[in-house]
């Protein structure tokens, strides 16, 4: 234990209401109780946990907490609080309770990414008008301090791109596939068995969880409000062991990335693409080394250059650290006075459709081993304005009386989504093509 400071004056008290007592909430409650003296010393006021709103008072909890703290009456709890911590998840009643807290002058700390991505603007505006703080570091990348650095530390810079591994479940699955050669279904089952994936894994594996986080990251990075509907979202369910093996062989690793990127639209004006999709990264890219259930966010800014933030993206105790950082900041501000403004939207950059995005592509083709095949394919790419960066061919000799075939792996220069789609469509019609085995985007080259 760090020594408690010597205080002589009685300290003021701030009333803290906790909504939800799951994985993260129970750890937040435990730390508020166990570490009360240290927190008081840092804040200059004591935090009094006045209650924990839950659906059932008798449900089992991860931490041992005094039974008298629990209540099912969330509304009353919220009305008496200086700081409300919302860790219920879901849209309702979380949304109504947060608005009620703001209307009663409480500052709010939330980890509710789905609510923030869907209805953030309503919440931010209401908090601004009420001059209270609304903070949500825990909503993106668990314990990693990423929102505050983007909002404050980089406020004098211009962010141009954010690439994030923000979902531990999919990163664990892809990492297992990469390490063991497993197929998606087996890696998912393994993750479920170990508790890294939920019984219904849809929100993770379809990319919806990452998409909420992408919307939040984009909003803070580009000072413009983006919602879930602005995010192009593709999950990892169609990534095969063959994709991974082929990418590995070519020096890449496949990661599910949340991407927010400043681009030019057709008129040359600024726009932002916000998207989630499986992405090839060179194995020496800093994000490529982020293994298992860890998260990391890679930020490119005009002046700062490349930055990376790495740490635990989930888990009750790590995420509780982010929640408590927000609670202490809000409490300090109450003690010292000062503004409640936490979010600025000073930009007016539109969200761009995925069609406007130029990335490199990785294309795997199973082709006939005949003279002239490479020329036919290269010609077709050129016709569609897609420039080839590298082309690698592996010959599979004929066996069992079949014909010889070849595996062709193409990495393109940056090309428009639409041009690439047209190229792939026409390639499939070539008589020398047996199959298009992979079409994946590449970043970081």
Active site residues: 213
Mask for 186-205, x = binds a second copy (CB under 8 A): --------------------
Q: What is the number of alpha carbons within 13 Å of residue 390 lying toward its C-beta?
A: 9
- Range in contact with a second copy (rule: CB under 8 A) among 33-41, 93-101, 170-178, 249-257: 33-41
Q: Phi then psi for 244, rounded to 5 degrees? A: -65, -45
Which residues in the 274-293 window bind a second copy by CB under 8 A? Answer: 286, 289
Minimum distance, C-beta of residue 346 to a second copy, in the bound complex (Å): 4
Minimum distance, C-beta of residue 216 to a second copy, in the bound complex (Å): 16
| Matching residue, tokens 């897609």 | 386
Which residues in the 211-270 window bind a second copy by CB under 8 A? Answer: 222-223, 262, 269-270
| Helices 184-193 & 168-180 angle (0-180, nearest 10) | 120
How far separated are the first and last CA of the chain, in Å rounded? Answer: 47
- Range in contact with a second copy (rule: CB under 8 A) among 34-42, 89-97, 382-390, 393-401: 34-42
Q: Is 23 labeled as ligand-binding? A: yes
Minimum distance, C-beta of residue 47 to a second copy, in the bound complex (Å): 10
Tell me the C-alpha distance between 85 and 47, whole Å: 12
Between 334 and 411, name the residue whose CB sits nearer to a second copy. Answer: 334
Sequence-separated (6 or more) residues with CB below 8 Å from residue 120: 215, 216, 219, 225, 227
- Asked if 158 contacts 302 with a C-beta cutoff of 8 angstroms, the reply is yes
Mask for 376-415, x = binds a second copy (CB under 8 A): ----------------------------------------
Between 153 and 179, name the residue whose CB sits nearer to a second copy. Answer: 153
Q: Is 376 labeled as ligand-binding? A: no
The reply on whether position 152 binds a second copy by CB under 8 A is yes
Q: Is 38 labeled as ligand-binding? A: no
Choosing from 130, 214, 322, 411, the residue that interacts with a second copy (CB under 8 A) is 322
The reply on whether position 308 binds a second copy by CB under 8 A is yes
Supply the Cα-derived Rg of the chain in whole angstroms. 25
Q: What element of type H or E holds 32?
A: helix 23-34
Residues composing the chain: 445
Minimum distance, C-beta of residue 163 to a second copy, in the bound complex (Å): 13
- Range in contact with a second copy (rule: CB under 8 A) among 39-47, 72-80, 99-107, 360-368: 39-47
- Range in contact with a second copy (rule: CB under 8 A) among 88-96, 118-126, 138-146, 375-383: 138-146
The reply on whether position 311 binds a second copy by CB under 8 A is yes
Q: Is 402 labeled as ligand-binding? A: no
Q: Is 198 labeled as ligand-binding? A: yes
Minimum distance, C-beta of residue 119 to a second copy, in the bound complex (Å): 23
The reply on whether position 31 binds a second copy by CB under 8 A is yes
Residue (of 296, 322, 185) closest to 240 by Cα position: 185
H-assigned helices in 58-93: 74-79
Q: What is the DSSP letter of 348?
A: -
- Asked if 128 contacts 146 with a C-beta cutoff of 8 angstroms, the reply is no
Q: Is 268 labeled as ligand-binding? A: no
Minimum distance, C-beta of residue 330 to a second copy, in the bound complex (Å): 10
Burial class (CB in 10 A: 0-12, 13-18, 19+), 183: middle
Helix (H, G, I), strand (E, B) or coil at 309: strand
| Matching residue, tokens 């501000």 | 333
Between 38 and 71, name the residue whose CB sits nearer to a second copy. Answer: 38
Tell me the C-alpha distance between 274 and 260, whole Å: 4
- Range in contact with a second copy (rule: CB under 8 A) among 12-20, 59-67, 190-198, 343-351: 343-351
| Matching residue, tokens 């999709």 | 277
The reply on whether position 312 binds a second copy by CB under 8 A is yes
Q: Is 271 labeled as ligand-binding? A: no
Tell me the C-alpha distance between 324 and 137, whole Å: 10
Output the six-digit token pair for 165.
Answer: 């591994």
Q: What element of type H or E holds 215?
A: helix 208-221
* Interacting residues with a second copy (CB under 8 A): 1-3, 5-6, 27, 31, 35, 38-39, 41-42, 137, 143-145, 148-149, 152-158, 222-223, 262, 269-270, 286, 289, 301, 303-312, 315, 317-318, 320-329, 332-333, 336-339, 341, 344, 346-349
Binding residues for NADP(+): 19-26
């Amino acid at each position: 234990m760090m020594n408690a400071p010597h205080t002589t004056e009685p300290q003021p008290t701030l009333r803290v209401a906790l909504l939800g007592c799951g994985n993260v909430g129970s750890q937040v409650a435990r730390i508020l109780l166990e570490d009360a003296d240290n927190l008081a010393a840092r804040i200059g006021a004591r935090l009094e946990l006045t209650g924990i709103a839950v659906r059932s008072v008798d449900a089992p909890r991860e931490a041992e907490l005094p039974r008298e703290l629990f209540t099912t009456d969330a509304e009353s709890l919220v009305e008496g609080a200086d700081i409300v911590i919302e860790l219920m998840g879901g849209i309702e009643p979380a949304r109504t309770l947060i608005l009620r807290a703001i209307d009663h002058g409480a500052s709010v700390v939330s980890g509710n990414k789905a609510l923030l991505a869907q209805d953030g603007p309503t919440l931010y505006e209401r908090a601004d008008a009420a001059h209270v703080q609304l903070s949500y570091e825990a909503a993106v990348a668990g314990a990693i301090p990423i929102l505050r650095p983007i909002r404050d530390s980089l406020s004098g810079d211009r962010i141009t791109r954010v690439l994030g591994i923000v979902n531990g479940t999919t990163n664990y699955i892809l990492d297992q596939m990469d390490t063991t050669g497993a197929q998606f279904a087996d890696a998912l089952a393994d993750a479920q068995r170990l508790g890294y994936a939920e019984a219904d894994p849809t929100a993770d594996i379809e990319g919806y969880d990452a998409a909420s986080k992408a919307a939040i990251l984009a909003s803070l990075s580009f000072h413009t409000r983006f919602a879930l509907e602005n995010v192009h979202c593709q999950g990892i369910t169609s990534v095969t062991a063959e994709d991974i093996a082929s990418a590995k062989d070519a020096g890449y690793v496949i990661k599910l990335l949340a991407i927010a990127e400043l681009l030019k639209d057709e008129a040359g004006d600024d726009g932002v693409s916000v998207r989630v999709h499986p992405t090839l990264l060179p194995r020496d890219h800093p994000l490529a080394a982020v293994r298992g259930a860890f998260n990391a966010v890679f930020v490119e800014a005009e002046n700062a250059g490349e930055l990376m933030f790495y740490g635990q993206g989930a888990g009750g105790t790590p995420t509780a650290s982010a929640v408590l950082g927000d609670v202490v900041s809000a409490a300090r501000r109450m003690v010292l006075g000062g503004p409640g403004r936490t979010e600025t939207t000073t930009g007016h950059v539109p969200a761009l459709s995925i069609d406007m995005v130029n990335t490199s592509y990785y294309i795997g083709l199973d082709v006939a081993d005949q003279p002239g095949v490479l020329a036919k394919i290269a010609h077709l790419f050129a016709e569609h304005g897609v420039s080839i960066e590298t082309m690698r061919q592996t010959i599979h000799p004929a066996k069992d009386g079949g014909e010889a075939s070849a595996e062709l792996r193409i990495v393109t220069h940056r090309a428009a989504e639409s041009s690439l789609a047209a190229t792939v469509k026409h390639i499939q019609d070539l008589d020398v093509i047996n199959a298009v085995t992979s079409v994946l985007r590449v970043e970081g080259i």
